[in-house]
Chain A
Amino acid sequence: MNRDDRAFNRELETLLERGRAIRPLPDVVRARALARARATIAKGAEAVPAPTAANPARSVGRRIALAAAFTLLIGGAGAVAAIRGGMLERSRPAPAPVAPAARVAPPRPQIPAAVTPEPESTPKPIEKRHAARPTAQESYAAELVLLHRAHVAYASRDFSSALVLVAEHARRFPNGRLAEEREALRVRSLAGSGRTADARRAVAAFATRFPRSVLLPRLQETAGTPD
């Protein structure tokens, strides 16, 4: 037994020894791998100016957003100070707009008139755009995943699971980009599970919400004649 173990260990060691050798790649495979790598470099070279050009723009955007946030903050603080001090005089016409640097220590009477319109006019959309982009993408991806799961459940005739997932989608993304598809799936799942009355109600709701949907005729047909 012990001798067997020793023999086996030797065999294992031999195996590892042979495994240490690195086998040369066939030329075809190497050529293919290098061609793909070169293509990546070429693509990268095309893309290189874009990030370098985009980076300053992004940083400028970030700066603008920061400046907007800063002015908002100062405006807010100034407004609070004005309210507390009982100096909120909306009726008095505002004097000439004050430069941002001068607004760091805002004179109380000028605050409501000069500060409030500015953040809403220019920098806010930029800030909004920068903040909203990733979340929109993320939420779309999450929507897609959820609805895909619902579709898979529907395709495997697991209508109750599909309806649960549809309900979850409706809860998380009531006005999501895939709301139309979700509602269509709800109708089909209800019809598939034999809940004809619910399916008809869902179709009616769908028709109200998406009256020009290309899915509508088919859904009406489905709700009328469930699977």
Chain B
Amino acid sequence: MIEPLRLSFEIGCSPEHAFTVWTTRTAAWWPKGHSASGDPKTEVVLEPRLDGRIYERTSDGTEIDWGRITGWNPPHALSYRWHIGRDAATATDVELTFVDAGDGTTRLEIVHSGWEALGDGALAYREANTNGWSTLIPTFTAAAEAPRF
């Protein structure tokens, strides 16, 4: 088994707000270039419910699936299958847990696993995702902490 990618970081807002920003305002904080199409005007859509789709809608209206929600427990936990830019058969698993860290802050714990689905490219893809998360986390944190967002 390939070791899951584990990330843990704090956000200066409540778990409720962090969960809401992650799931219902995805388009506002998702990094612009981070898409399957590369279209700068593509729009990220997350259907905030169990079995909801996560996809992008490009400027010409094409929808490209990125994943599907497999666990929905607001505001505590969210999980989804994830295959951005790839065939759904090579999906990996993302689990997010929003923990109350006191003083109105939240610790977000992310476990990204299932790399075996990528076969020979698994380790390289895991490494690429390490970089992907490190660009995602600051933009999410900034959005979640923004006043009146």
Do A and B belong to a common assembly? no
B interface residue numbers (CB < 8 A to A): none
Interface positions of A (Cβ within 8 A of B): none
